Amino acid sequence: MKIQGVFSVLPTPFTSGGLVDAESLCRVVDLFITAGVNGLTALGVTGEVARLTEAERVLVLGTVVDHVRGRVPVIAGATADGTFTCIEFCRQAVSMHASAVMVSPPRMAKINSEAVVAHYKALAAAIDVPIVVQDYPPISGYAMEPALLARIAREVPHARTIKLEDPPTPLKTSRILAASKGLEIDILGGLGGMYLLEELISGASGVMTGFAYPEMLLEVVKLFCSGDVRSAADAFYRYVPLMRFEFQEGIGMAIRKEILHRRGALADSGIRQPGVVADPSTLTALESLLEWMRDKQGIPWISA
């Protein structure tokens, strides 16, 4: 399985009463698949996975896999602090027919490169699906050097896809590929698509993010892969203001859910505590930006 193109990370919708909203989740799945995404990722960081109970994890992944019905691959987040727990999460995802799992290094007091490699080797020995190595230091507390990521790919053939979210991502993409010559490695950017064009120029295979308008990401990737880099750049610079606004630290998930609510996918844009909700000034700024993109940038399908 090649993990390339645009993989959308799904939010976890909640009802006004705070319960998982499976109906809204199905609508988001349909919205993203209709847009043309190459795959979906459930139980990611921006899916508020850390705020879900074990039963809710099962509900979310089961809802996604059942509703997708094989239309696109589904990757399941399976990160855990302990290797044993992580293996159980991975096995559970495989048993529920996830196409791959995504795992960050475990958060340990004295983590080192040997422990990280051993962790991924243990996962690969326990399951027989691709492992996406998530390089996102704010979650793992550990920054993986390009040489370590290349070593994991070399020693753990199942783990030759990297979700790279350790900026500067274009530079790190180039260094990982240089350190792993002779191996077929797929690197997907994240970070809301903020550096998508530069990542593609550096050799990335696509992007994995929950950005609320995957149509924009798909256009950039399609144009770039066709060899029309100039048009890809024109599209990217046209769309990047919304990527920038949505990717605000601390409140980005609330903005993303508000956009998906406006797109008719989410019944409620709420997030779970202690997540920050969008305040009136942020919502006013969002509406102004969406109107500008629709009226000045000529994007008629923007939901203002």
DSSP string of 32-98, one letter each residue: HHHHT-SEEEES-GGGTGGG--HHHHHHHHHHHHHHHTTSS-EEEE---SSHHHHHHHHHHHHHTT-
The pLDDT score that the predictor gives to residue 304 is: 59
The pLDDT score that the predictor gives to residue 302 is: 87
Q: Residues 6-22: what's their mean pLDDT? A: 96
Structural contact between residues 140 and 105, judged by C-beta atoms closer than 8 angstroms: yes
Q: Which of 34-38, 110-114, 136-140, 244-248 is least confident?
A: 110-114
Q: State in Å, rounded, how far the first CA of the chain is from the last one.
A: 38
Based on the structure, what is the number of domains in the chain?
A: 1
User: If residue 207 lies in a helix (H) or strand (E), which one and from where to where?
Assistant: strand 206-209
Q: Residues 198-208: what's their mean pLDDT? A: 98
Q: Over 90: is that where the pLDDT of 108 sits?
A: no
Whether 136 is in a domain gets the answer yes
What distance in Å separates the CA atoms of residue 189 and residue 127, rounded to the nearest whole number?
A: 25
Residue pLDDT, tens place only, 67-97: 999 999 999 999 998 999 999 999 999 999 9
| Burial label, 230 (beta-carbon count in 10 A; 0-12, 13-18, 19+) | exposed
Whether 152 is in a domain gets the answer yes
Q: Which two tokens stand for residue 259?
A: 């956009």
Residue pLDDT, tens place only, 127-168: 999 999 999 998 888 889 999 999 999 999 999 999 999 999
DSSP, collapsed to helix, strand or coil, labels residue 186 as strand
DSSP, collapsed to helix, strand or coil, labels residue 5 as strand
Q: Over 70: is that where the pLDDT of 37 sits?
A: yes
pTM: predicted TM-score of the whole model, two decimal places: 0.95
DSSP, collapsed to helix, strand or coil, labels residue 179 as helix
Listing DSSP states for 96-153 in one string gives TT-SEEEEPPP--TT--HHHHHHHHHHHHHH--S-EEEEE-HHHHS-PPPHHHHHHHH
Residue pLDDT, tens place only, 221-234: 999 999 999 999 99
Whether 223 is in a domain gets the answer yes
Q: Over 80: is that where the pLDDT of 36 sits?
A: yes
The pLDDT score that the predictor gives to residue 303 is: 74
Q: Over 80: is that where the pLDDT of 255 sits?
A: yes
- CATH code: domain of residue 210: 3.20.20.70
Give 174's contacts (C-beta < 8 A, 6+ positions apart). 202, 203
- Work out the mean pLDDT of the chain and round it to a whole number: 95
Whether 280 is in a domain gets the answer no
Which residue segment(s) compose the domain that 173 sits in?
A: 5-239
Q: Over 80: is that where the pLDDT of 105 sits?
A: yes
**What's the length of the chain?**
304
Whether 267 is in a domain gets the answer no
Q: Over 60: is that where the pLDDT of 109 sits?
A: no
Q: Residues 290-300: what's their mean pLDDT? A: 91
Whether 286 is in a domain gets the answer no
The pLDDT score that the predictor gives to residue 287 is: 95
Q: Residues 253-263: what's their mean pLDDT? A: 96
Q: Over 90: is that where the pLDDT of 126 sits?
A: yes
Whether 268 is in a domain gets the answer no
Whether 283 is in a domain gets the answer no
